[in-house]
Amino acid sequence: MLNRISASQLKKIKLHLKKGGVIAYPTESCYGLGCDPFNILAIKKILQLKQRPTHKGLIVIAGEFKQLVKLINPLTKSEINELNNYWPGPYSIILPTTRFVPKILTGNHNKVAVRVTKHSQVINLTKYLNSALISTSANKSGKKSIKNYRDCMRQFGSKALIVNGLTNFSKKPSTIIDFASKRILR
């Protein structure tokens, strides 16, 4: 079944990421390029693959909120309750980072966009990894997002480990919201 990742594939992905590799995996609206959000060399690989400027910053996706705690400053119970109105779902929320977050992840910002997904394959993957992942659309910067395994293999197959699965649960990319101002940025 396309929405399941086999145990052997999960082990392969974990080892690949541990070695600083990049994966391409299905998310709600398109394939995403991902890596360990604390691995600077892997983040640089993603930026090179996308030909994306470093000043923009990247989104991080998680299967559950606790996978984000190393990335974001502590939140009050009230703030967490407010985030539960958005998650799990297609909302990337911009929050202040901890001091451990690599500057290359946030670009010119002191905040990071994070999302807790509903996509079952991503939930299973991040749960197995016990970690959130970078989640930026699998495409060259400014080009159309890749929606399927075949096209992703064609574009990135020699440069990333491609995970087979389904996208198209959502027609558009996640909405990006600055949590402090409630301003919608995308």
Could you read off the pLDDT of 91-114 as tens digits, one per residue?
999 999 999 999 999 999 999 999
What is the reported pLDDT for 2? Answer: 54
For residue 144, which phi and psi values (nearest 5 degrees)?
-65, 140
Query: How many beta carbons lie within 10 A of that of residue 134, not counting itself?
Result: 23
What is the reported pLDDT for 172? Answer: 83
What is the reported pLDDT for 169? Answer: 75
Domains of the chain: which residue ranges? 7-178
Contact call for residues 116 and 62 (beta carbons, < 8 A): yes
Largest separation between any pair of C-alpha atoms in the chain = 45
7-178 CATH: 3.90.870.10
Contact call for residues 68 and 62 (beta carbons, < 8 A): yes
What is the reported pLDDT for 97? Answer: 97
Length of the chain: 186
| HSE-CB for 29 with a 13 A CA cutoff | 15
Residue ranges of the chain with per-residue pLDDT less than 70: 1-3
What is the reported pLDDT for 92? Answer: 97
Q: What is the value of pTM for the model shown?
A: 0.94
